[in-house]
Amino acid sequence: MSSQAEDVPLDLPLTVLGSVVLPGIEPAACLVRRYARALLGPGFPGLYELTVVASELFTNAVRHSRSGHLSRENGYGHVTMTFLTGDGMLRLELADQGGPGTPRLTRPGDDGESGRGLQVVDALSLAWGAERRGSGTVVWAEFAWPGCTVPQAGG
């Protein structure tokens, strides 16, 4: 089971494996999954869980930040998705354009139509958290696979 950790500095040296800027519209969630599969490869351990978490975090960024609420006249917002790796760990970060607060794990009522996304993130990741960076918010999730080798860029 995972746990949320806020404002915890990451002391591990990490390497950026890949990064992509996506439009702040909900239909772009399919691009989140497609990019993760292309970057990590179909045989990557835990790929399904990682793509589910990435989709949830992306959708939350679009729904709850300025990334998904900019007007057509001013241009649509964006969300940046970055994969980092180091020491057998994969860290997924989604950076949005900021909003009124940071994500918090809640328990919706039995009849609630939304509010379960972070429970899914919490269940499928080793750890997750959110932090303000500049005017935006970065939500991250970490996945650990002992002995896992991450593909090298360009190969």
**Average per-residue pLDDT for the chain:** 82
- C-alpha 5/C-alpha 20 separation (Å) is 25
The answer to whether position 1 is within a domain reads no
Is the confidence at residue 42, as pLDDT, over 90? no
Mean pLDDT for the stretch of residues 25-35: 94
Structural domain including 75 reads: 16-107+115-144
Tally of domains in the chain: 1
Is the confidence at residue 74, as pLDDT, over 70? no
- Give the length of the chain: 155
The answer to whether position 6 is within a domain reads no
pLDDT of the residue at 2: 44
Q: What is the 3-state secondary structure (H, E, C) of 23-90?
A: ECCHHHHHHHHHHHHHHHCCCCCCHHHHHHHHHHHHHHHHHHCHHHCCCCCCCCCEEEEEEEEECCEE
The answer to whether position 4 is within a domain reads no
Cα 89–131–24 angle (5° rounding)? 90
The answer to whether position 121 is within a domain reads yes
Mean pLDDT for the stretch of residues 7-20: 73
Residue 127 β-bridge partners = 3, 142
Mean pLDDT for the stretch of residues 120-137: 92
pLDDT of the residue at 3: 45
The answer to whether position 76 is within a domain reads yes
The answer to whether position 154 is within a domain reads no
CATH number at residue 133: 3.30.565.10
Which has more pLDDT, 84 or 145? 84
Which has more pLDDT, 103 or 132? 132
- C-alpha 82/C-alpha 36 separation (Å) is 10
| Cβ contacts of 10 within 8 Å, gap of 6 or more | 91
The answer to whether position 129 is within a domain reads yes
* Contact between 31 and 71 (Cβ < 8 Å): no
The answer to whether position 58 is within a domain reads yes
Mean pLDDT for the stretch of residues 126-148: 86
Is the confidence at residue 99, as pLDDT, over 80? yes
pLDDT confidence band for 116 (50 / 70 / 90): confident
